[in-house]
Amino acid sequence: MAINFDTSVLSLQKSNGDLLPRIIQYVETTTTDWITKTNGQYITEFNTNIAPKHASSHILLFAHVMVGADSNADLGILFTRLISGGSVGNLGDSAGTSASTANVSMVTGMNVTNTQAAHYCAWHLDHPNTTSTVTYGLRAYPNGSRTMYINRRGADTTYTGRSRVVCIELGDI
């Protein structure tokens, strides 16, 4: 593949002139904090800010979260997005549809007791269409009046973990 040094481009080009996709920036929020949430609460400890370099960029989101519960509980987590100057909203296109209780980005299972916990992963490709700062985060959806515990199991802190949200700006896709 020839590189044309006389032309300013955002990335390398294929021989047909199409740009090759590329990673522009990587931002991560990691926590080992013991977090307690109930239904519909934002998990602000995962808020991750990224200011896209180009309005045409996409943001690839990854979440890797350790989750436990107070008792037998259905649990879910949803990606959220806040564009500078706006309000926080759920990323609905990252979630399931037609659920009777909660449409979420990741179902973190059914805990039978408060001694269970596991790591769960989810990813989503978002196109915020802005160069303003975007804050991505998570929202908790344990069922009913149940309590969700992050980075620990519900019974105690005998087993703990590390959780993170990663944002990768991708250009030219």
pLDDT the model gives residue 98? 81
What is the number of other CB atoms lying within 10 angstroms of the CB of residue 23?
10
C-beta of residue 87 within 8 angstroms of C-beta of residue 137: no
Residue 99, pLDDT score: 76
Task: Note whether 67 and 81 are within 8 A (CB).
Answer: no
On the question of pLDDT at 121 being above 50, the answer is yes
Backbone region of residue 172 per phi and psi (left: phi > 0; alpha: psi in -120 to 50; beta: other values) = left
Instruction: Determine the CATH number of domain 35-171.
Output: 2.60.120.1340
Q: Determine which of 3-7, 55-59, 154-158 has the lowest per-residue pLDDT on average.
A: 3-7
Cβ neighbourhood burial of 22 (10 Å; 0-12, 13-18, 19+): middle
Judged against a pLDDT cut of 70, whether residue 131 lies above it is answered with yes
Q: What is the pLDDT of residues 59-111, one digit of tens each?
A: 999 999 999 999 888 889 999 999 998 999 999 888 888 877 778 888 877 77
φ/ψ bin of 69: left (φ > 0), alpha (ψ from -120 to 50), beta (otherwise): beta
Tokens 């934002």 belong to 42
Residue 168 CB neighbours (<10 A)? 19
Nearest to 82 by CA among 49, 59, 39: 49
Residue for token pair 């993170």: 164
Q: Report the pLDDT value the prediction gives residue 11, as an integer from 0 to 100.
A: 61
pLDDT tens string 12-55: 777 787 777 889 999 999 999 999 999 999 999 999 999 999 99
Q: Do 60 and 168 meet the contact criterion of CB atoms below 8 Å apart?
A: yes
Residues in the chain: 173
**Choice between 135 and 98, residue whose per-residue pLDDT is larger:** 135
Name the helix (H) or strand (E) containing 69.
strand 58-69
Question: Is residue 1's pLDDT more than 50?
Answer: no
Question: What value does the mean pLDDT take over residues 130-158?
Answer: 93
pTM of the model: 0.86
Per-residue confidence (pLDDT) for residue 172, from 0 to 100: 78
pLDDT of residue 112: 77
Q: For the chain, what are the domain ranges? A: 35-171
Cα 60 to chain centroid, rounded: 9
